[in-house]
Chain A
């Protein structure tokens, strides 16, 4: 196992960047998720690490080896794709042992190792079957077993759950994470699904338009997004982002007398960023808003969604903004009803509408 280091790695196609120069260090045994919408550069990044795509600048280190210009087969990494890429005409056992046979290992050693990984993935009973006879999930387990079997320095996974149906994706998500916890293999995992990224990653690298937007642990990304893109992209629904006029510690949000006084600790940072500019963006998660008949903010119910364990109320606060509020389930708010709500002051964030960057709070000493 090994660390992976990207130093000013970039990829250009003609004049266009697929990935702008990026630095990233992945620790030995870490599970890092590259997350972003399609076309953000996450898969290109993964392919550069694997060697399937060459870099147009920068260096890639695997452990203490510079692998930037090594052929994929010389990098000692295993790749798991969305589509299982199994050989259809040979058994699961032969598919799994393939990489070891290619390395010329002894028959006994191969048998022992195949048994180990099959046990780990709970596919021992399927070893004699051909891939075509297996369900999608079992095929993906075989593909994972094949990747695991030769103990590579790192695993690269490109949306391995993308082709599975929702229910199954959920259980495979937990399985892969359990597997990682047992094996502690350095893993880079690509997905466009923010729930998957949050659930699985030790750290998440959020990308958009060829640029790394933020790198952090799930809680950090969720509670302290660095910019409007991350705030919106993470969460379901994403963070509420409402722009309003700022003056003297109060944000005036368009709509019926909606005034939100900011906490004292936020005044200096906001004012120093705004520099007299009048607008600020207020951000809060749906669960940081509470319905309250004496609440300072108000609006009209636009839609009410039972999500299972809870509900999400969508409230129109003015002609252009709908805020999402998490509520107890089965509380009936008809469309058009007036509601009042408050925000949990500690959980409110602020953004500069010009740069779209989060305003950082003063660190109290």
Chain B
């Protein structure tokens, strides 16, 4: 059982405020991911939770108890770093057994054996138990690091970009395994990454940070489908969301430098000029589509193709399934899924579109 809460945490370093008034709650058994660019304050937040860094204001609360004054060792947490910190001369078995052999825990060797073998099986490293860790590949080492964190069943896991040093294929595989492990073991996990795909694919909930502040907290669907600011909208999704300046004109929106009119009624209180957000997958090629344009670039990615469309003086990115045989210069028709449009004020804050179906799918 473990519930973690940050209450109005502020952390200053000489000359900079690393975290300002950060508050969120991580529920028992939740996979909680902090996502943001470099310097957003993700790692500092994680280190404050671990007790490796002392905050200046606010409280860190575990299970309803303020733990501000507890040293890391007394917080019952396990930390997995980007760089694996294994003992190179020890076998995988001894690395995994290490936390259990600590003099405070005094776990008998036969019980250690059972636990180590169990963890090794979960992480698919049973065949490596006798190997020295220096002889392992990067992916194997990171599995052992995760195994060593899991083996003593701490109440909270803290992970700081544990996948970022691995190559793409390995990252993909470990992402799936981490998610499976977390869900089946039900361990409360707080994970830091700058990779939006890691956040979307693994998290129960995501906290978006920028410049030491929380921008949005929500499920991956919330973040992807209902970003509260243009910063969030641009941070998640690949290729990036199309952001287009548009102006209100009798009940519809006209995208500047184009002939694109969208029947989107906006409230009178909203400024005349707005930013319209259109996810590339919501621009559909359709011979009967209401808009026209010209293909200026195609990027076949395999499972889908990015089509760069020039319409008026605007360039729009559309994402279509499969490998497209469209060619540069082709004239095409397309439509935009109105019900999935996003609208923001010029300062980046989301505005509600009336009658807009505010749901996923």
Contact = CB atoms under 8 A, between A and B. Distances in A.
B231 to A, nearest CB: 12
B197 interface: yes
B167 interface: yes
B360 interface: yes
A285 B322 CA distance: 11
Nearest to A238: B169
B172 A236 contact: yes
Contacts of A165: 37-38, 194
A309 B319 contact: yes
A222 B238 contact: no
Contact of A166 (B195, B281, B328): B195
Given A173-B299, A308-B281, A309-B280, 13 more contacts: A166-B238, A170-B239, A177-B299, A181-B328, A218-B300, A219-B300, A222-B323, A236-B168, A287-B322, A306-B200, A308-B224, A322-B176, A330-B360
Contact of A199 (B172, B177, B300, B361): B300
Contacts of B300: 198-199, 218-219, 222
Contacts of B281: 308-310
Given A219-B323, A222-B323, A286 B303 contact: yes
A330 B221 contact: yes
A356 interface: no
Contact of B236 (A173, A238, A308, A314): A308
Contact of A303 (B180, B321, B323): B180
B148 interface: no
Contacts of A235: 302-303
B240 A167 contact: yes
A194 B296 CA distance: 22
Interface in B179-237: 179-180, 183-184, 194-197, 200-202, 220-221, 224, 234, 236-237
B8 interface: no
A67 interface: no
B306 interface: yes
A237 interface: yes
B342 interface: no
A335 B183 contact: yes
Contacts of A237: 172
A298 to B, nearest CB: 18
Contacts of B280: 309
Most chain B CB within 10 A, of A38, A237, A309, is at A309
A165 B308 CA distance: 21
A37 interface: yes
A171 B302 CA distance: 18
Contacts of B302: 194-195, 198, 218, 222, 234-236, 285
A335 B176 CA distance: 12
B297 interface: yes
Contact of A329 (B167, B172, B301, B360): B360
B354 to A, nearest CB: 24
B175 interface: yes
B304 interface: yes
A307 interface: yes
B93 to A, nearest CB: 23
A309 B279 contact: yes
Interface in A241-264: none
A198 B303 CA distance: 11
A285 B321 CA distance: 13
Interface string B325-361: 0001000000000000000000000000000000011
Contacts of B196: 166
Contacts of A194: 168, 302
Interface in A282-338: 285-287, 302-303, 305-310, 312, 314, 322, 326, 328-330, 335
